Amino acid sequence: MKLLSTIFLSLFLVPFVFAQSPCEPDPMFTDTLGVFPPPIDTTVENPSEGIDVIACIGKPYDFTFTIAIGDSLRIQTFVLAVDSITMSPDTAVMGLPAGLTYDCGFPDCTFLRDTTSCISISGVPDESNTPGEYLLTIEGSFHSGFLTQPTTIPGEFFPGFYTLKLEAADSEVCATSNTNKIVTPQLEMSISPNPTSSFARLKVEVPESDVYQYRIFNMLGREVFNAPIRLNVGTSEHEFDFGFLPNGLYLYSLSNENMQLTRRLIIRK
């Protein structure tokens, strides 16, 4: 979340204005607020967190953070009006391998209230880099009236870490694939209706018979439901009652040892 990750998630929902920018915000997150994906938090299990694209030395790389900003920010018992979030065009994303740079969706890396935009990381990692995991941080400042608060994510108020994995050009993942995107094995899943207020049907298509884990996470990354499901190869439907969930945006995940797929769920009563 690039500036007020976890705190952003307690903002009030407001209409968004999509910025015209060189990167494209992920439409999956247009109904919520924050920076996505969030940092990896070792205290919780969230399938949507962290950077899921591997970088290869000598190969083009591209990854996008989505940033959704509201009009107010709640910090404990205080509510502050949001004017803007600013990031330095030169130091907003720290720790990148040589050859990779970033671009902000808004001019001068200034993100205004009631907007959804993005930060894209791109380039070609050069041979001066050592393969391994690079820890990234995103730095900026939150502005409310005369108040300016420097913020770092991950940081004191935002547990976890961002890791960009860099592989050698001749590594198995880089040498045998035309893409460095981490690929999910064939697995399809949907919920209907979505949004739902209570009962809905989960339709799944799996390539292998197995016991799968079905999980639901709120947008703070906290697991709110977890159950095993025995699935046979092919397509099947299962009815669930989501009435126990408060209104809001959730992520639901289906996984076994070989694959995982995550989708969005909206509860609206």
CA 49 to CA 37: how far, in whole Å?
5
Q: Which two tokens stand for residue 17?
A: 């204005």
Closest CA to 38 of 25, 23, 52, 48: 48
Per-residue model confidence as pLDDT tens digits over 158-203: 667 888 989 998 887 787 655 455 544 577 888 888 888 999 999 9
Per-residue model confidence as pLDDT tens digits over 61-109: 999 888 877 776 665 566 667 788 888 777 788 899 999 998 887 777 8
Say what the pLDDT of residue 42 is: 60
More confident residue, 220 or 100: 100
CA dihedral 19, 25, 27, 28 (to 10 degrees): -140
Say what the pLDDT of residue 200 is: 92
